[in-house]
Each structure stands twice: as structure tokens, then as C-alpha cells.
Amino acid sequence: MKNQYENALSQIFLKLATTNYDTFDSFIKFNIEAVKISLRTIKSDFYVDNKQSRYYSTLIDNLDTNNIDVINERKINSEDYPKDGSIMQIFESLNKSTSPSKVNYLESYYYLNFHKARSKTLSWLPFALFHIGNRFILDLVRIQNNINEIRMSNQKSTRIRWLGKKTHIGYIFSMLAQEGYIETPELPGGEVNYTAFARLIKELFEVDVAEGTLRKYLNPLDTKFEENQKTFEKEQFHLPNVKRVN
């Protein structure tokens, strides 16, 4: 089992090494969901006495099972039985008898410790497999977190550091968009998607501003933008339309 576990992890790493970097997240998520489906099945196997368990089984629990081997070894001689069919009448009379049997039958041929050991042995297997599978999910999550850390580290090293104030970047990029210098993300109706716009800026620039706050600085209809506009106009900031400077 340990070898199979390590081999499964090796297959994950091998697949990641030969897969497009952009599809890492979807690949890991797919495998996590696949393991979860198997765990739901294994969970129903926890107890061998549960009929939903794939290991469910019943015991032939009868005192006579102790004598099966003896019965099979007996030599049957037809000459020992009556020829007139009276033997069948004897069986029928015994079958119809209402008198209590004089034989003291045991309730169970098996000892209590046997039942306990059987249940523990057969129920332990799916229980152990469940925890092994759960550990595999934790390892996949750890791999996913490591990938995200590497991705974030790469993004930080390649982003442009913004030296102005967080209010400046929103106003300037909004003006660049309004005057036709850059193309912005759009909503289905054609309006500017300021949330996506703010997210793109944060991916490209190292700036200490929340995405939701930056969205307000970008939107000309927001009071945050109007406050910045007054500051920039006071300093005679002007950006001509792109068509005027062709």
C-alpha cells in the first residue's frame, strides 16, 4: 500500500511536469474531486454489518455446522432404511410435532470474541483506506498551495512597482482608458468592468490598495474618482485624446 501511495504521488508530479502551467489548478482540483468520490463509497463500507457495505456478509450460525464434516463422512447404506416409505412418515411426524425439543441448542456457534474479532478485521480495512485516501487529498492540497506560492512569487518579481499614491494609479489609468490609450475589460452590455479592470492593474503593478477600493478610483461616476479629479486639475494635469496626438 505504501508503494502504491508513493507511486500515485509520483504520477501526479510527473503529470504536472508535462502539463501546461495554466492548467495546474484544474488538474489538481479534478484529482481531489475524484478521490472524494471514492471516499464516499469507502465510507459506506466502514461496518461489515451494514448492508450498504461492499464487504457485507452473514455467517451460517448454527450448532449443526459443527457436525457437517462428521455427517459427510458417514457411509449411507440403503438397506438400513425401511422399503415401505415409513421413514418419510417419521420425518413428517417430527416436523409437525409441537412438543419442545429436548436438545439444548446454543444461540450462536461462534464465541463472542470471534464476532468481535471478525467485525474489527473486516471493518478496519475500509476505515484504513478512508484515512489513506484523505491523506492523499491533503497532499494534493499541499501541492496546490505550493504551486500558488510559486505563482505569487513569480508575479511579485515581475510586477512594476507603483511609487505614487494608491489614489493616483486609479485616476491615471481611468484617464488612459477614457482618452483611448488602453482597452479595458467590458461587461456583456459594453460598459467598463471596473472590477476586472482593478484586478488587471493589481496583477501588473505592485501597489498597496485593495481591489474594491481601486475599482472606486477607476470609476468616473464614483465620488472617490471625483475627489482625485479635483486634485489633478488643480495641478493642471491634462491628458489629450489619443487621436489628437497622432
For residue range 105-133, list pLDDT tens digits in order: 445 566 667 777 777 777 788 888 899 99
Q: Of 25, 12, 236, 44, whose CA–CA distance to 130 is shortest?
A: 44
pLDDT higher than 90, residue 104: no
Looking at residue 23, its pLDDT comes to 80
Quickly state the pLDDT bin for 160 (edges 50, 70, 90): confident
pLDDT higher than 60, residue 75: no
pLDDT higher than 50, residue 69: no
**Alpha carbon distance 39, 29 (integer Å):** 15
pLDDT higher than 80, residue 77: no
Whether the model pTM is above 0.95: no
Quickly state the pLDDT bin for 197 (edges 50, 70, 90): very high
* CB-count burial class (<10 Å; 0-12, 13-18, 19+) for 228: buried
Looking at residue 65, its pLDDT comes to 47
Q: Which of 72-76, 137-141, 174-178 has the lowest mean pLDDT?
A: 72-76
Q: Which of 29-33, 48-52, 76-80, 185-189 has the lowest mean pLDDT?
A: 76-80
Quickly state the pLDDT bin for 72 (edges 50, 70, 90): very low
Q: Which of 17-31, 151-165, 197-211 has the lowest mean pLDDT?
A: 151-165
